[in-house]
Chain A
Amino acid sequence: MEAIEVRSKERLPATKTVPEWLFRYGAVITIVGVIAYFSVVNEHFFTYSNLSDILRSISIVTFLALGVTFSLVVDGFDVSVGSTTSLATIAAASALVLHRQELLVALLIPLLCGVFVGLLNALLIVKLKLPDLLATLAVMYMVNGIQLTYSKGYSIYEGMPSSVGEQTGRFIPSFKFIGQGELFGVPMPVLLMLAFVLISYLFLEFTTFGRRMYMVGGNPEAANLFGISVSGYRVFAYVVSGLFAALGGILLASRIGTGQVSAGAPLLMDAVASAYIGYALFGEKRPSVVGTLLGSILIGVLLNGLTMMNVPYFAQDIVKGGILVLALAFSFLRKDPAHR
């Protein structure tokens, strides 16, 4: 804040402080404006049950978006999160239904899948030096293929037929509680989302470890010449990204109570859009956890509101794209005196 004030005094005539301010909070104003608009247009919009619905609907996407955010922080990019979520969903369902495992195993196996995908991404990007987008794109296909091959293209559900007769495994109640339960009237997925958002926020903004991740992303060469292990932090970021995607997969399996094949694929684009809206938020061009959460909320609010207004779902992607452009334009049109 201090720096902005000084800069605007020094470099900008007084009349230009208004657009500066607009650039900074443009995206936040948009969210508030959208919520206000829907509240006025539809009386059922601004109700506790609807708002809690919105939060529940974005909870899973937010996990994926957090993963993407971690990769953005080290100046990378992870598009394999959708596939990782699919793999984790299948892995959790398979552990429960096909192998009759307990809660702990049903959680551990998908998480290990996430770590594995993260390490694979890191191997391609850090060791083989492939461009991040292309490497994670390739991994996205591979992981999607793995979960399809494993499930032979069929969803995994309770009592599904198999060569040895009907499967007897169950989605145990403790597992279902993660995605369907409520605590103090708040849905579990929302609580989990808020908890992990808080943890990620504290980690990235208030620990020196998180700050070093930003430094790696901000200028890898300078980071290396300061003795910061650029590769180490990159590997870490992709593993965290894989873990968050796997958490999203567990939530998804628990919420729908089956292991849908390729269930994570449609979540990818919303997650990327959320992370990028967050990146542009506050005109900072800096990936951040709070930004990602707000981006995800913005998309959730829009979809919910538009559905209430009977806008067909296939037209909603147009609005999503428009919002992304708007958010990015706010941030990229802004002149950054520190980065000429």
Chain B
Amino acid sequence: MKLLVLTLKRALWFLPTVVGLIIITFIISRIIPADPVALVAGDTATPAQVAALRAKLGLDQPLPMQLLNYFEGLLRGDFGRSLFTTRPIADDLMHRLPATIELTLAAMLFTMVVGIPLGVISAMRRNSLLDHALRVVTVSGLAIASFWLGIMLQLWLAMQWDWLPLAGRIEGFKPTDITGMYTVDSLLTGNWSAFASAAAHLILPALTLAFPALATVVRFTRAGVLDVVQSNFVLYERAMGFPPVLITWKYILRNALISTVTQIGLLFGILLAGTVVIETVFNWPGIGYYAVSSILLSDYNAIMGFTIWSGVIFIIVNLLVDIGHTFIDPRESGA
């Protein structure tokens, strides 16, 4: 019940947040002194032809009217069309979003599966050689530019040793489309060669994306564990003869995870929005590069569509993080 109340409270803020996001992004994208209509009309278009196209696209109307029309379209589920391709924005986004989600999920999975245990080990073996080595790794993760890391991985693992593919999502074209995530779709259809190809292509970009996130998770987990390990209940459990493995991985970790879970939620949102560099280096056809191209071309509807989707996903992820907190620490649901 308390969880339901918490969820409803968070959900009430959802709509005003998204509306505010739409208004701000709409205004900013329109007041930038760019002229995408002239680009669409072509290099040789006269001012009269550009004006005619602008009127046809409804972009000659006052800004408040354009905003109203946009909201009207949204209520119908219409995100508008790309100025450049004339295709529905919703189609373009749905087409690209799974690629970014797949990459982000793979990176987050690696980050959690590797980062949390490393954080615990680093804390429990504080000031050991392993702890110092991990500290070097975490500092590197935060300091190294992701594009440089990506290129280095391409040079060594793809070019020099030919262990993994250089770029792209899969050899050839995609498997049968169910979720849009190639690894998942190929597993669901039993297409093992497609799965192998998709997984192999996913490794390098996911590792590159995960590295800075891994550093953050290791550090937060380590800090959390160090904080909890001094607690009285740990002393009590040791005194009672509980196995050390049980104390560490069940009792200490659970109490230490609060801040880590929050970071994971934030990281997911950041990675989702920040994959553009990785997508560019590895030629990963996701939403990141689509978003940047839209911004550079001032493709208004595409910018709005990407912003709305990113905002919604970010809000949902943080809601899930808050819900996750209540499971880790039931005291939170009473807050």
On whether the two chains bind one another, the answer is no
Interface residues of A (CB under 8 A from B): none
